[in-house]
Amino acid sequence: MTVQQYFEKINKRFQSGISTEHSYRSDLQLLLESLCTEADVTNEPIRIACGAPDYILTRQGNSNFPIGYIEAKDLTEGLNLDLIEQSEQLVRYRNSLNNLILTDYIRFRFYLNKDRVTDISIAKISNGKLIPLSENWPAFETLIRDFSKYTGITIRSALKLAEMMASKARVMQQVLQTALESDEISQDNSSLKDQLYAFKNILIHDIKPDEFADIYAQTIAYGLFAARLHDPSIDTFSRQEAAELIPKSNPFLKKLFGYIAGVEIDDRIVWIVDALAEVFRAADVSSILKNFGKATKMEDPLIHFYETFLAAYNPKLRKSRGVWYTPEPVVNFIVRSVDEILKKEFGLSMGLADSSKIKIKRKHVTKATADKRSKIKDIELEEEVHKVQILDPATGTGTFLAEVIRLIYSRFEDQKGIWSQYAEEHLIPRIHGFELLMASYAMAHLKLDLLLKETGYKASQKEKRLRIYLTNSLEEAHPDTKTLFASWLSQEATEANTLKRETPVMVVIGNPPYSVSSSNKGEWIENLVSDYKKGLKEKNINPLSDDYIKFIRYAQYFIQKNGQGIVAMITNNSFVDGVIHRQMRKSLVEAFDKIYIWDLHGNSKKKEVAIDGLKDENVFDIQQGVSINVFIKKAHSTEETKLYQKDILGSRKSKYQSLINTSIYDTKWNELEIVEPYYFFTKKDFSESNEYEKGFKINQLFPIYTTGIKSHRDDFVTAFSKRELESRLLKYFDSSISDGELMSTYNLKDTGSWKLSTSRSGKFDESLMLPFYYRPFDTRYIYYSSQIVERPRIEVLKNFLSINNLGLILPKQNTENIGALVSESLPGHKSYAAYDINSVFPLYINNDNELKFGPSVEPNLNQKIVSQIAGITGLKFHVLKDLFAKGGEGFITPIDILDYIYAVLYHPQYKRKYNEFLKIDYPRIPYPKNSTAFQRLSLLGSKLRLSHLLHSKNSESNISYPISGSNRVEKIRFEKFNGEVGKIFINKTQYFENISNKIWEMYVGGYMPAQKWLKDRKDRVLNYEEVIHYQGIINTLMETSKLVDELDLLEIS
């Protein structure tokens, strides 16, 4: 077909007026086949439906080698190719497909490596008619022929390879997801769907199609990467070749690629797999990785390359899955420690390299005989296995197991003649790993396989599989899957289950994931973790369901089952002193003989500093502090458990240096006394216990209290203004707007106790829009209805609706910045403390069922405690008509008592003296010494209270906002101009001035209000009232600082 003939065909269809985008497809395919004589042109509707471009050009006779891609849009007058070029689909194609054409069948845009290089038109539409541009036809033919002769690029950079891998993998994920979702809708059975169901049954029971597509795409990407790394031939590479190159040490991945390379592969994904294989064909991966290692000066370039890939593929994925590469100094310290403990505590002179064996009984399955007289049955046989079995239950990319191999190999550097035999007989059989994510699993296999080859290991006969299994560690070893699945995945699960059930694991190491919202809720692990929850009376014990805690319990289970051994892990450090973790610590004390806690701190919310005054940093790029925990259990030990602890604060670099230069037995440990009932694993000073216990508890003084409102959807049910909230809620009650649209627009999600679809009855009620104390000095509006707010705490908080009231807000355990706040409106559960749940104590209670102001209002105060305060001070207690009036000559009122408490909670001496107690339970307040002490503290407390309610008028304030502008909050920053005094910029030109750095960085509870209030309004335009309000916040912070200094001059008891 010539261009002339092509034009005549599409012109005829166009003039008919009934043509569609699909009408022209065969015409363009014929033209391409005529011009591109060295390529095959494929136009598969089934592929297109799952996200493939309309046309794929491959090398003639070899569909494994893609050349270029063409995306076609309908030929219509007024079609804007510029808009299409910027669409999500085209951006995705341009980022992932190196040689691409966008066309509407008459206009052709050519893209090479993301960029548009040229465009040409062979016709144009004018007054509803196609006008030929024949002068462009020769150039068009040349461009199309050149397009079909594209030979690809040569990739030499690790960054470029990672980016191209990631872009192709992203497209593959979307193609896989679309294919799976279409199978669900049509109820078609496909190989992909079967594999998804296999994963659901054996690995991840709640996996969704998009999640499966994601891990599957990553696995294919890294499987091809692994294959290319083992490829001795640089010039050729394909998915078929990859299947041959995957090492036999990873049978699961080899079987998976047997499917990918075979004729059974789903035709909807084959094109993108081939496109990814083409990327690797253009790269000498082995050489790139070596150069990358030199450039980054990292011992483990493979993992750093994986992180580079993840950052390009999906940066959010790394965070959501807790994919954090454990730093080499941490891994090295943990592995060295285990080695030294095995030598010293267990008398194994070779440490981790020990090759001694023990006898165990193991179940074996006998086969049925041919005549079926003998059935399948389990029998127990005695078997010899290695004593030092090592398990990393959250292997990730194999960092810890690789370090074990390195350390053991260091003992054989002058014994290389026996290394291969040792590795095959005494190393590979006793190193085990479990991993749930396929991509990480593939990486771990690749890393260990390469490392063993680097050491000179050569398999004597059949290459042994590495004992890293694709499995969920936290699931019990279920009975052998004899009939569950006759597939490669089932076999992987069966082998992992044998290890879980029968292997006498002596060492458990690693860095388990941290996730409070754990999805690992199987009956077996929940039963194990229930040991850590026995006898707890707290309402919220959800922190004990964190994945890292489940992994510690899992490791404890293995060592207790074995009767002796070591657990050595780096984890979230919240368990070392968390009050709710006391039963966990008790269980660990009862299970182990020695406990070592190397507390690396690093919790960014605590704002800790090192001895030299420098900022404390985390060894990971995370907010939560961490610790290295070593638990040792010796066989038949009767000694009391010993607890050793060490605090390490400072820069990340200094922490790394400490780990590199120290061993577990060189460390100057603090030997701690194990004290009931909390069993703290950190230093605590309770020397003032007797005096502290003399005070009264806040929750005893205020008998009626609750936690703050928890909506589970703050961004939807709260707003800065009534107007904004109303417009949102009107859509919620509008039945013409679908649930899906609401969920998508406002990121709403169903929970266990709330479903959008069943909650939308009724009408909008303006009276339910109420002031809401959301964050320090930040009152917003909330739609206060149990219809949409899941935990409204109405039984207690109704006392803020019927009367003018005041609530004292503070957490039960104050792990952040000790103090409190007061609110006149409904409080949120994070209104004071950012980390801990906040409780609210109303000053008054209305006992009138009709919620009317009247004589039924009474103080929410324990009369016994009030009488004791009155007795000590010699002042009578009165409730005045003005509920918030201060006392006078010879008497005190409820607000006086609240003000006294408020002053004590902010008193520096009180916070220093009772710091450890305040982390455990609701604060105890010392009774006043006498009338004078009470009144002085109450007066300062009153000033603090009024200031925090923004009722205090500071006429001396010189906080100005001098520059006119948009008032839009854009980039927030603090700049010093005169010593400590500076300006708070909200955009390039506008600022608040005459503010000290101390106020800018000042904490109230868990927040820095001078920063938090502005950050929450980023991209908003401040109105007059908001500017004045922010100046009021700054004044309040300044006044708070001044009043706290005054408090420090007074004694508290």
351 and 301, same domain (yes or no): no
What pLDDT, on the 0 to 100 scale, is given for residue 853?
Answer: 43
540 and 654, same domain (yes or no): yes
260 and 305, same domain (yes or no): yes
Indicate if the pLDDT at residue 108 is higher than 90: yes
464 and 595, same domain (yes or no): no
H or E element in which residue 449 lies:
helix 438-454
Q: Which residues contact 16 (CB under 8 A, 6 or more apart)?
A: none
Residue 938's pLDDT band (cuts 50, 70, 90): very high
The per-residue b/e assignment along 991-1008, b for 16 or more CB within 10 angstroms, e otherwise, is: bbbbbbeebbebbbbbbb
What pLDDT, on the 0 to 100 scale, is given for residue 233?
Answer: 82
360 and 447, same domain (yes or no): yes
Count structural domains, the chain: 5
Identify which of 289-298, 446-455, 743-752, 780-789 has the greatest average pLDDT.
780-789
What pLDDT, on the 0 to 100 scale, is given for residue 661?
Answer: 93
What pLDDT, on the 0 to 100 scale, is given for residue 232?
Answer: 84
What pLDDT, on the 0 to 100 scale, is given for residue 370?
Answer: 52
Residue ending a domain, among 148, 176, 193, is 148
Paired tokens of 62: 């070899």
497 and 352, same domain (yes or no): yes
Q: Which residues contact 490 (CB under 8 A, 6 or more apart)?
A: 198, 202, 481, 484
Residue 471's pLDDT band (cuts 50, 70, 90): confident
Q: How many C-beta atoms lie closer than 10 Å to residue 658's C-beta?
A: 17
List the Cα angle 163/168/169 in 5-degree steps. Answer: 95
For residue 402, being part of any structural domain is answered with: yes
For residue 549, being part of any structural domain is answered with: yes
For residue 331, being part of any structural domain is answered with: no
CATH number of domain containing 61: 3.90.1570
For residue 869, being part of any structural domain is answered with: no
**Cβ contact 286:229 at 8 Å:** yes
For residue 436, being part of any structural domain is answered with: yes
Domain range enclosing 69: 3-148
530 and 506, same domain (yes or no): no
Indicate if the pLDDT at residue 481 is higher than 50: no
What pLDDT, on the 0 to 100 scale, is given for residue 484?
Answer: 34
Residue ending a domain, among 626, 651, 672, is 672
Label residue 269 exposed, middle or buried (CB < 10 Å: 0-12, 13-18, 19+).
Answer: buried
Rounded to two decimals, what is the model's pTM? 0.78
499 and 595, same domain (yes or no): no
What pLDDT, on the 0 to 100 scale, is given for residue 733?
Answer: 95
Over the Cα atoms of the chain, what is R_g?
Answer: 34
What pLDDT, on the 0 to 100 scale, is given for residue 879?
Answer: 93
595 and 659, same domain (yes or no): yes
Q: Which range (165-174, 661-670, 922-931, 1016-1025) has the least confidence?
A: 165-174
What pLDDT, on the 0 to 100 scale, is given for residue 577?
Answer: 93
Q: Which residues contact 151 (CB under 8 A, 6 or more apart)?
A: none
What pLDDT, on the 0 to 100 scale, is given for residue 363?
Answer: 72
Q: Mean pLDDT, to the nearest integer, of 653-657?
A: 94
State pLDDT tens for residues 822-847.
999 999 999 999 888 899 999 999 87
Question: Strand pairing of 821-823 and 807-811?
Answer: antiparallel
Residue 485's pLDDT band (cuts 50, 70, 90): very low
Paired tokens of 152: 């690809």
State pLDDT tens for residues 338-367.
999 999 999 999 999 999 999 988 776 665
For residue 819, being part of any structural domain is answered with: no
Residue 480's pLDDT band (cuts 50, 70, 90): very low
For residue 821, being part of any structural domain is answered with: no
State pLDDT tens for residues 70-102.
999 988 877 889 899 988 889 888 888 889 999
Residue ending a domain, among 510, 532, 564, is 510
State pLDDT tens for residues 169-188.
888 888 888 888 877 666 66
Residue 53's pLDDT band (cuts 50, 70, 90): confident
State pLDDT tens for residues 499-534.
888 899 999 999 998 877 667 777 888 999 999 999
664 and 534, same domain (yes or no): yes
For residue 276, being part of any structural domain is answered with: yes
State pLDDT tens for residues 681-729.
999 988 889 999 999 999 999 999 999 999 999 999 999 999 999 999 9
State pLDDT tens for residues 944-976.
999 999 997 765 678 999 999 999 999 999 999
661 and 534, same domain (yes or no): yes
578 and 532, same domain (yes or no): yes
